Amino acid sequence: MAALLGTWLGLSSAVVSAAPIELPSLGDSTSGIISPQQEYELGQTYLKYLRSRTSTVSDAETKDYLERLIYRLAEHSDLRDHRLSTMIIDSPNLNAFAAPGGIIGVNTGLFFNASNEAQFAAVMAHELAHLSQRHYARNVEEAKRKSIPTAAAIIASVVLMATAGSDAGVAALSSTIAGVQSSNLRFSRHFEREADNLGIIILSKAGFDPNAMPEIFEEMNRSSRFQSRPPEFLLTHPVTDSRIADSRARAVQMPAKGTKGSVDYQLVRIRLFALSAENPAAFAKQLQNELSDGYTSAPDVTRYGLALASYLSKDYATAEKALNTLLEKHPNNLYIIMAKARLESAQGKHKEALARIDRALKVYLDNYPLMFTKAELQTESKDFAGARDTLQSLSRSRPDDPDIWYYLAEAQGQADDILGLHQSRAEFFFLSGNLDDAIKHLQYAKKLAGNNYALTARIEKKLNDVYAYRNKLKNE
């Protein structure tokens, strides 16, 4: 936190000495006291900090789904810098946030609470609107008009709100800015209204039902009435009755109703329910009863959840029956194909499982979840060199994904590629904010490189980059 706040405060100190600058116009990514590049660099530092202290979801299907949805929405936003980074926090609390530099985070709890894709997309569109309007940079601009301690308090509160997902940041802000408290709170509400209005436009242009935004806000308010503590999202994005009414009135003005969403969202949603179930066998029994009694409005989605929960509880017969039924109806659905391949591998049918994934890869070239599944299957069949090669290919297309480097290091270790293991662990630790361990593994790799001068030079270059990054954080 000290390093992160140092970065923020370094920026705010420069702000105070600068000439007065007016608030940027909406969507203006070139004005303001923090440049888009500074915001991006700050966001990457913040992302590393979050990864080092937060449990995240590494499931390839879920991550890929979120990335595709975010970029679909971003195409219809005012974002000028499309360098976006997403993270899924493994928490049942209902929360989502946007941070400077294109960082969008979401808790698994939002998947659990948003009953359809349009509702989920509404929250993501709202967060994208915060980014497109550079609300964080504009917060710092507002802080510039006050004292340095006030600027520091605003900046620190932003970090607290995004990190803790609680009212800690709001409390810190309120207690510190005594003289300007009311005006600052109005400023915050203005940003929320801006994000609502632009978010609904993004949602509608992306083909979703704009009414989903007031719907998800109403659902959050409704659920908070039965809890001693409101959902995390409501603490950082207060939703009032007037705000819901405003968003509903705005939604009515949109040109088309749009869709409630795709089946992909429902498959990912029930996938997360199955993966997070404390007792997969009990969850499978619940889903089986829903199918038998006809209590489900989406039997194929329920059957997919049944297959996953049965697989996780090692009831392979039930999983196979459910997946065979699904494949007859949806032979090209990748979620079902990957589930079937994993089941075949668990049953010892390694060749069949890999052949199934390879057939899909011929159609969906270099698809991230398919490639990751292939690496998993190769590991299970003890083809460690093959898993290493598959993950190395993924590391080139997803160089900023710490999960890829983590699993690549594991595969390299199993393939006795110790030099590669240290290099991959260094990448993982760097992206996860653990700079000291990243340096240690690069030093190990340098020793193992021996007289390979080209490789030694690359490792030294990476070492110097990490040292420079660490020194920058300390100096700021």
- 3-state SS, residue 217: helix
Q: Which amino acid is at 259?
A: T
Alpha-carbon gap, residue 316 to 314, rounded angstroms: 5
Alpha-carbon gap, residue 99 to 226, rounded angstroms: 30
Binding-site entries for Zn(2+): 126, 130, 192
Alpha-carbon gap, residue 420 to 386, rounded angstroms: 14
Active site residues: 127, 196
Q: 223 near 93, Cβ under 8 Å?
A: no
Over residues 236-245, the pLDDT tens digits come to 677 778 888 9
Least confident of 22-36, 89-103, 273-287, 313-327: 22-36
Alpha-carbon gap, residue 357 to 352, rounded angstroms: 9
Q: Which amino acid is at 322?
A: A
Residue whose token pair is 């603490």 = 235
Q: Where are the domains of the chain?
A: 2-252, 382-476
- DSSP structure class, residue 105: E
Q: What are phi and psi of 106, to 5 degrees?
A: -145, 140
Over residues 212-236, the pLDDT tens digits come to 999 998 888 877 666 666 666 776 6
Residue whose token pair is 């993501």 = 124
Q: How does DSSP assign 399-439, residue by residue?
A: TT-HHHHHHHHHHHHHTT-HHHHHHHHHHHHHHTT-HHHHH
Binding-site entries: 126, 130, 192
User: Considering the entire predicted model, what is its pTM?
Assistant: 0.84
- pLDDT score for 163: 43
Over residues 258-308, the pLDDT tens digits come to 899 999 999 999 999 999 999 999 999 999 999 999 899 999 999 999 999
Residue whose token pair is 């803790």 = 164
Nearest to 314 by CA among 281, 288, 290, 289: 281
- 3-state SS, residue 207: coil
Beta strands at 103-107 and 85-89: parallel, antiparallel or unpaired = parallel
Q: 207 near 258, Cβ under 8 Å?
A: yes
